[in-house]
Amino acid sequence: MREFKNSKVEIIPIIVPDHTSLKSINYYLVKYDHELILVDAGLNNNDSLHALEHTLQCNDLSIHDLTAIILTHHHIDHVGLVNHIASLTPIPVYVHSESIPRLKRDDSFLQMRIEFFSTLYEQMGCGHTGRKQVNYLQQAVKKNKELAIHANLQVIDEKNKLFGFEIFEVPGHAPDQIALFDRTSNWLISGDLLINHISSNALVEPDQSGKQMHTLIDHMNSLHNCLSLPIKLVFPGHGVLIEKPMELIQKRLQGIEEKAERILLLIQEGISTGSELAQTYYKNKYDTQFSLVMSEIIGHLDYLEAKGRIHKDMKKGIWHYTA
């Protein structure tokens, strides 16, 4: 295995193969000074746990040697082992402030989030399919209560370095996403900002006051901001390490522009609601991957609207877009 070690930090990748399109679930052991930090914590399953234990063992370490956890964002494939580790050793878990209600599965926050999607999908014209998704979200809140994170959560202050890393907010894929930059070797631990084999979804989310965030625009800004850093190697949340990050960032930004143009064409042809655009563009994925597909469509509509390429009017509670 390749070594990633400089005078300040050592990064030890833990790569757990995954049979979905993600290809692998990645998280990272970081040695810094006398600290042993886990950046992200895999899925809550035996594969993730065994991979962590195995990597620790190979380095003559154990879970009890960990001194901190940092989470790049709150998604379940990044926080899986936190409760298990916290039950063995009460170490601090550093997170973005936007992570807190999401990790704790705060009931009033989750109810607000359901209300948000209910209104959003109605306004996008999703009708029955939207209501089905809202129903699914309601069931998930009940079912996933036990996934709430019980740990010593510490809010990250982006102005300060954390264990030698500069911390950058990189919202878009998730509103609480952060990236960790090591300036000695120009390494970036990126969460799901950049993945080599797939473009990361900018999932639509409300902010803590229930207002829709423009997550695709946030994602593009996050990618743009990375272009001004001299990044040499990216340690992503999934897939292989990224050796030519600048080229990939340009490709991803280009991909978004091209998709926006294709959606604009459909609007010019007279397709006017979010739901109709999603069904025309994504065909049967509208039913099988509804929330992902709607995030993509809404994100690109936000972007086209922000550029002044389209505008929207509300008719009978549904937004209609025109070029």
Query: Which pair of tokens denotes residue 63?
Result: 């879970």
Which range of residues in 45-53, 94-102, 232-240, 314-322 is near Zn ion by CB under 5 A? Answer: 232-240
Q: Which stretch binds Zn ion (CB under 5 A): 47-55, 153-161, 186-194, 283-291?
A: 186-194
Cβ proximity to Zn ion: between 77 and 176 the closer is: 77
Span from 81-89, 185-193, 281-289, 303-311 in contact with Zn ion (CB under 5 A): 185-193
Interatomic CA distance for residues 296 and 216, integer angstroms: 8
Question: Would you count residue 239 as binding Zn ion (CB under 5 A)?
Answer: no
| Residue with smaller CB distance to Zn ion, 195 or 260 | 195
Between the alpha carbon of residue 119 and those of residues 4, 88, 107, 197, 322, the distances in Å are 47, 42, 19, 34, 21
Nearer to Zn ion, 72 or 272 (CB): 72
Report the C-alpha gap between 82 and 90 in whole angstroms.
10
Mask for 110-149, x = binds Zn ion (CB under 5 A): ----------------------------------------
* Nearest Cα residue to 121 out of 110, 142, 136, 107: 136
161-169, 188-196, 240-248, 280-288 -> range binding Zn ion (CB under 5 A):
188-196
Asked whether 65 and 26 are in contact (CB, 8 A), the reply is no
Minimum gap (Å) between residue 238 Cβ and Zn ion: 6
Site membership for Zn ion, residue 192 (CB under 5 A): yes
Task: Count CA atoms closer than 13 A to 81's CA, side-chain side.
Answer: 28
Residue 77 Cβ vs Zn ion, minimum distance, rounded to whole Å: 4
Q: φ, ψ for residue 10 (rounded to 5)?
A: -125, 130
CB 174, min distance to Zn ion, A? 9
Q: Are 297 and 263 in contact (CB under 8 A)?
A: yes
User: Does 237 sit near Zn ion (CB under 5 A)?
Assistant: yes
Minimum CB separation from Zn ion for residue 168, in Å?
Answer: 18
Distance between CA atoms of residues 27 and 248, nearest Å: 21
- Please report how close the Cβ of residue 95 comes to Zn ion at its closest, in angstroms: 15
Selected range binding Zn ion among 84-92, 97-105, 235-243, 315-323, rule: CB under 5 A: 235-243
**Is the CB of 38 or the CB of 134 nearer to Zn ion?**
38
> Residues 75 to 114: which contact Zn ion by CB under 5 A?
77
Residue type, 41: A
What are the backbone angles phi and psi of residue 187, rounded to the nearest 5°? -100, 140
Interaction between residue 205 and Zn ion (CB under 5 A): no
Does residue 40 belong to the site contacting Zn ion (CB under 5 A)? no
Task: Produce one character per residue of 95-106: b if its CB has 16 or more CB atoms within 10 Å, e if not.
Answer: bbebbbbbbbbe
Q: What is the DSSP-derived secondary structure letter of residue 137?
A: H
Residue among 21, 63, 26, 69 at smallest CA distance from 47: 26
Q: Is 24 helix (H, G, I), strand (E, B) or coil?
A: strand
Distance from C-alpha of 82 to C-alpha of 93, rounded to nearest angstrom:
8
The Cα 186–Cα 123 span in angstroms is 44
Size of the site for Zn ion (CB under 5 A): 3
Shortest distance in whole angstroms from residue 237 CB to Zn ion: 4
SS3 call for 277: helix
* Minimum CB distance to Zn ion, residue 151 (Å): 19
Q: Which stretch binds Zn ion (CB under 5 A): 109-117, 190-198, 284-292, 297-305?
A: 190-198
Q: By the criterion CB under 5 A, which residues form the site for Zn ion?
A: 77, 192, 237
